[in-house]
Copies of this chain bind each other. A is one copy, B any other.
Amino acid sequence: MIQKKELPPCPVATIIGLIGNKWKLFIIRDLLTGSKRFGELRKGIPEISQKVLTQNLRAMEEDGIITRKVYPEVPPRVEYELSDLGDTLRPIFDLMRVWGRNYQKLVKE
């Protein structure tokens, strides 16, 4: 029992455990267009608080979905970016985007 985490046997449960909450989904959405600073992420997800954004970024870093790069400047700059692994989520989000557009058309009718 020296595993990093208890992994559910079901692959869908696995991905839900990693990105199955709306904040992480929003964060990934925004990072798919390139690396972002902390403040940029806040702007892109206005409803999220600083604390919750930090929490989710830390968890995603821990899980290997994103990387965090600190530039030792004054004032400090921190860039968040999808890891190679995180970037493999792109096709899923492409499908979600298409689906979302379709749904929007449906309800507008």
- Decide yes or no: A15 and B100 within 8 Å by CB, A20-B25, A21-B21, A95-B91 being known contacts: yes
Contacting residues, chain B, for A26 (C-beta < 8 A): 12-13, 16
**B contact residues around A85 at 8 Å (CB):** 103, 106
Contacts of A91 in B (CB 8 A): 95
Number of copies of this chain that the complex holds: 2
Does A14 sit at the interface, judged by CB under 8 A? yes
For chain A, what secondary structure do more than half of its interface residues adopt (helix, strand, loop), or is it mixed?
helix
Size band of the interface chain A makes with B: 35 or more
Looking across the interface, which residue of chain B has its beta carbon closest to that of A26?
Answer: B16
Given A10-B29, A14-B103, A16-B22, output 9 extra A-B contacts at Cβ < 8 Å: A4-B107, A11-B100, A12-B25, A13-B29, A16-B25, A20-B22, A21-B21, A91-B95, A92-B92
